[in-house]
Structure 1
């Protein structure tokens, strides 16, 4: 399929030049009737009104890959119809989705190089993201921003990338991956096995609210170490670091030998190492308060009213740990692990329900100062995103907030964890030295 308008976009990457020819977007609509009206968003959904960008890399493709994905998208949108709507304001003053049925912009593109030029797509590169993931240039507000965009880019080597932009208010990692994998099933001629559950009122605020926790996530931290000036002075750099199975095993052994904790997961071990190195790399003063926020899926934590496994929406909250940088560094690593474990132990149904009420009542603001956010993507089923030419060889985030640290599988069947984060250049150099000891 070809279109009248073509946009040429060029960039220099990994020592070479790449030009991407983008054809005019086509609005894809569900192939059959979908609901009208408005679509409720919980307070958890409303708290994250921005687009999450991801890139899937496929080593093999064909001339018809664009047609196959576009036609399958029309079919899967019947199940995932909120993506075809627009953000709006509810009478109560919150966000809601208006089911406008305006469709989803779908772009086909061609690159004049091999995919090898991309390097490791787990590491965000803003220039690459802008070439491989479509954003509506006319959208100036969240009410004009598409809730879903898709771009298929074919490369000279015969492979292709799929760049997806999904509005976070509609999906978390699990529900977003369920959508992509359902899309892939249809592209392969298979029936959808994961039908989304759309009743988000399951996570509605209680009346009256019942707030039982203080929620350290929202504590405002003073910049006692003047890290803000560092972020303004140095360019932000993204890098990937691999903590292999041997490094993780050695860290666990050290943690347990200190006698403070009885067990230590790979997640806790790596997070402790990252938290320590991150705070030291930013030259935090001993009295600087530092906050670790961990994003956690709570689908399995509900007992009184089960949250369906295929719940479509945000079933993720953060749980946090607060301590001073001095306390973090003067104590053994088992102290950091203990703080991580205590934060994770808070997560149960009442903690989530209370947090939903807390957010609904206070509408608190989050801050980046002194804050590290951990989001693990190691269990996302991206390997099932096979559109007919095999699963993706890589899956990466197209952008990364300065406080966000994302975990990926090491790859190639190995049992390590690949950590991707962003830091000012000088801090990144220090972080690299610290974690490679």
Structure 2
């Protein structure tokens, strides 16, 4: 269906700094493979006839500013990495599809879609040879375009990646970057925060839950052997702004931690967690927790610059709860657990955690923990504040943007819709035997949602 027609190794247009960039502990714990993936879809237009040259030329220009991405990772002591800035370049693939954009439905990241639209590399080759940024532009027979951008998560997070793409789009239209768009690559502000001479760490004053083992199924010593190889499926569920508001209102009869109004992310994430528990039908005394990723740029003191181009995110777990607590209590119970975990993310807590990580002889085990987030737990990533739809390369705003890395049971993304009206879309992977029950439970008992939730959710996907 999709044929890759050409390949380019794109380097910065002008000379860039050479040498090594030290990475922060928040960079070091990220997956070193290309798990940072964003997919942009653009409708057919006469303006995108020269899209190949536009993409290639503007990519070489944006790399002048994002020059670390044109370099390579280098292994150092303790399972850690640093970036070698050597201007070796990034990969750009061109492809064409015999089908129309509409023929692909919701573009759910199935194995077939990923094989066609997501260029890959040989991960058996030395890591020093891997490009840190990989791009594929695919043109459909109808004239529509699909832009897939993959990055190594060690170098930058989703927020920084989204800003990179928006800045790249501005340069594609001949604009220059403003001061707030020039990326900051210096990690000094997030390097180990130990006291002078590195003798004392603050980690002991906190219970660093993110680095502990998540709950297992009762009777199991881990989640790997019991769950990791079970078949999974995707659910894509759309919530209108009225439906989102109804979820937020359902928290109104209970006071949340800190007394602030319930956010869209908190309400939707709590709803996902609760519905997953109900669909899985585990023992009522089964422990469960929810994992999430928090943007800590504004939580630090001083705050991280808005143009910080590294990982400004922190993994967090809620308090461990029992299934019966999540299911039998109002939705506000689960929402409160999320809020309480968020409120722990103070400047002191995050810097203490970075000291904890810096004191480890090897950080590899922190990366491997990501394999066991599924049943009986969920991992809900909120991307609602991302400026996804500002990425106009000259042929209009994208009509649909979504993250393209969703392989693990219990993993979910909460993303904004192009309408920017307060609605939201949930993309979730769950074990196949639970997926239809989850769809139904997501919509059950609310007059604002479809009468036939399973059928309507499928129709909603088809309209994307």
Q: Give TM-score, length-normalised by structure 2.
A: 0.84
- Cα distance in structure 2, aligned partners of 1:281 and 1:144: 44
- Cα distance in structure 1, aligned partners of 2:81 and 2:310: 14
Residue 2 (structure 2) pairs with residue 20 (structure 1): yes
- Cα distance in structure 1, aligned partners of 2:182 and 2:294: 23
- Cα distance in structure 2, aligned partners of 1:137 and 1:152: 20
Deviations 1:217-243 (A, max 9, x none): 222133317676774564211111123
> Helix, strand or coil for the counterpart of 1:387?
coil
Deviations 1:97-143 (A, max 9, x none): 1223211111111111211112223x322211221122124754544
- Cα distance in structure 1, aligned partners of 2:15 and 2:393: 24
* Alignment match, 2:83: 97
Query: Could you tell me which of 316, 324, 336 is aligned with 1:326?
Result: 324
Once the two structures are superposed, the pairs formed by residues 16-415 of structure 1 within 5 Å of their partners are 19-48=1-30, 49-51=32-34, 52-59=36-43, 60=45, 61-91=47-77, 93-121=79-107, 123-137=108-122, 140-193=125-178, 194-207=181-194, 208=198, 209-211=201-203, 212-220=205-213, 221-224=215-218, 231=227, 234-258=230-254, 262=259, 263-303=261-301, 305-321=302-318, 322-362=320-360, 363=363, 365=366, 366=369, 367-369=372-374, 370-402=376-408, 403-415=410-422
Once the two structures are superposed, the pairs formed by residues 398-437 of structure 1 within 5 Å of their partners are 398-402=404-408, 403-437=410-444
- Cα distance in structure 2, aligned partners of 1:186 and 1:418: 29
**Residues 291-300 or 211-220, more deviating:** 211-220
> Helix, strand or coil for the counterpart of 1:272?
helix
Q: CA deviation at 1:332?
A: 2.4
**Residues 339-348 or 204-213, more deviating:** 204-213
Tell me if structure 2 keeps the 8 A contact 1:56–1:396.
yes
Q: CA deviation at 1:378?
A: 1.5
Deviations 1:168-205 (A, max 9, x none): 11111111111111111111000012100111121011
Deviations 1:287-327 (A, max 9, x none): 32212122111111222x33211001000112221212232
- Cα distance in structure 1, aligned partners of 2:311 and 2:402: 20
> Helix, strand or coil for the counterpart of 1:255?
coil
- Cα distance in structure 1, aligned partners of 2:54 and 2:417: 31
CA 1:205–1:432: 2 relative to 1, 3 Å: same
> Helix, strand or coil for the counterpart of 1:357?
helix
- Cα distance in structure 1, aligned partners of 2:227 and 2:234: 13
CA 1:188–1:276: 2 relative to 1, 3 Å: same
Deviations 1:351-390 (A, max 9, x none): 2111111222244532325332221111111111111111
- Cα distance in structure 2, aligned partners of 1:246 and 1:313: 36
Deviations 1:26-78 (A, max 9, x none): 11111111111111111111111221222111113533101111011111101
Q: CA deviation at 1:249?
A: 2.6
Pairs aligned (count): 417
Bigger strand fraction: 1
Deviations 1:262-283 (A, max 9, x none): 5322222111111111122223
- Cα distance in structure 2, aligned partners of 1:230 and 1:419: 26
Q: CA deviation at 1:417?
A: 1.8
Tell me if structure 2 keeps the 8 A contact 1:243–1:270.
no
- Cα distance in structure 1, aligned partners of 2:168 and 2:256: 47
- Cα distance in structure 1, aligned partners of 2:281 and 2:339: 25
Consecutive unaligned residues in structure 2, runs of 5 or more = 445-464
Q: CA deviation at 1:425?
A: 0.7
Tell me if structure 2 keeps the 8 A contact 1:57–1:161.
yes
CA 1:234–1:433: 2 relative to 1, 3 Å: farther
- Cα distance in structure 2, aligned partners of 1:139 and 1:183: 31
- Cα distance in structure 1, aligned partners of 2:297 and 2:21: 21
Q: Give TM-score, length-normalised by structure 1.
A: 0.89
Tell me if structure 2 keeps the 8 A contact 1:244–1:410.
no
Tell me if structure 2 keeps the 8 A contact 1:225–1:288.
no
